[in-house]
Amino acid sequence: MEVRKLVKSGLSSYTIALPKEWIQRNNLTKGELIYLDEMANKLIVSAKRTKEKEVGDDLVINTEGKNIRQIKREIRSAYLNNYNRIFIKGSNLKLMAKDIKDDIHTLASLEVIEEANDKITARSFLDFSHVSVSDILRRIDNITRSMFIDSITLITESSQEYDLAKLIIDRDLDVNRLTFMIFKVLRLCSLDMYKSKKIGLDTVDLLKYWNITFIIEKIADSLKRNARIIAQINERKMKINKKEMAKLLSDVKIAYENVMTAFYKKDHNLSDQVYLNRTVLIKNCDDFFEKNKSMEGAEYVGKLKSIISNTEDINKIIRF
């Protein structure tokens, strides 16, 4: 970091001296334009203003010698790195085409635009100018809250009309889809300050939204897995106290809702209340397991403890 003294120049202006090395490195001469961008308490000085690039380049993913899991990871990487068109090619593509197309459909604003026996072309249609990270986060939060509610219903009620456990699992896919979209936007913002400024995020916001999105996605994963455990308990008609089971999940749900309310409102008092209640929730989980010892009971309690730990991670974001 270099320090420059602010010098008053005239009645209404101030000047600073720019480093000679920076001037030479950017081939600047007297009279050339310098661009200034304000972000929070920072003033960013740029030598040249380039036109914003809304889309990235193209990428070819070769499927030869790769299994479907490897290919899916490469597609997600290309999506997050903002490639405009993704060409998936290979002689073995036909065997995996359905799985690949299904995977592409799980990524927001990525669509299959062309398909042949040995090639699938996907294109990103993300309109960056209309993206609101805070709105997407609230959608993820609302889906997660609905997963809590349906999980409690799955414990207390049995429905022959629809598979509630499958519905909860499908909602986790929606959370994943929106999570990747937020990560894509935040990564773009971290590499391009103009995009970050355009949607009103500073450096701290990028870190905050990345972390809290990651945490909520983990909570949704725990709820998805617990839905499977609850379904197993129901199918096997296991002797587990359903009333206590539902009460325990309801208490964890309240802790999650309170910590998210504290996040939105920047309410440190509410955040502290959730923190202080954490020990009670953990003890209640242990007490429940002591009275309902089984493999399923251990897995159920383990997932709830993970969610409690995740709410504490959100608390850290609020506080620190």
Same domain, 35 and 65: no
| Mean per-residue pLDDT, 209-238 | 94
Q: Are 172 and 223 contacting, i.e. CB atoms less than 8 angstroms apart?
A: yes
Among 249, 233, 210, 213, residue whose Cα is nearest residue 292: 233
Cα distance between residue 102 and residue 107, in whole Å: 9
Residue ranges making up the domain that contains 80: 59-124
Confidence band, pLDDT 50/70/90 cuts, at residue 130: confident
Task: Give the DSSP H/E element, type plus range, for residue 118.
Answer: none
Give the DSSP letter string of 124-159: E---GGG--HHHHHHHHHHHHHHHHHHHHHHHH---
Same domain, 198 and 299: yes
Average pLDDT along the chain: 89
Counting the structural domains of the chain, the total is 3
Same domain, 108 and 135: no
Residue finishing a domain among 70, 92, 124: 124
Q: Are 191 and 37 contacting, i.e. CB atoms less than 8 angstroms apart?
A: no
Note whether residue 267 is domain-resident: yes
Same domain, 187 and 239: yes
The CATH number of residue 280's host domain is: 1.20.58.220
The SS3 of residue 54 is coil
Same domain, 151 and 245: yes
Note whether residue 307 is domain-resident: yes
176: which 2 tokens? 């994943």
Residue finishing a domain among 124, 145, 172: 124
Instruction: Identify the pLDDT of residue 53.
Output: 46
Q: Are 225 and 303 contacting, i.e. CB atoms less than 8 angstroms apart?
A: yes
pLDDT in tens, 136-145: 999 999 999 9
* DSSP β-ladder status, 35-39 and 110-116: unpaired
Backbone angles phi, psi at 36, to 5 degrees: -115, 130
Note whether residue 107 is domain-resident: yes
Instruction: Identify the pLDDT of residue 113.
Output: 94
pLDDT in tens, 232-279: 998 888 888 899 999 999 999 999 999 999 999 999 999 999 999 999
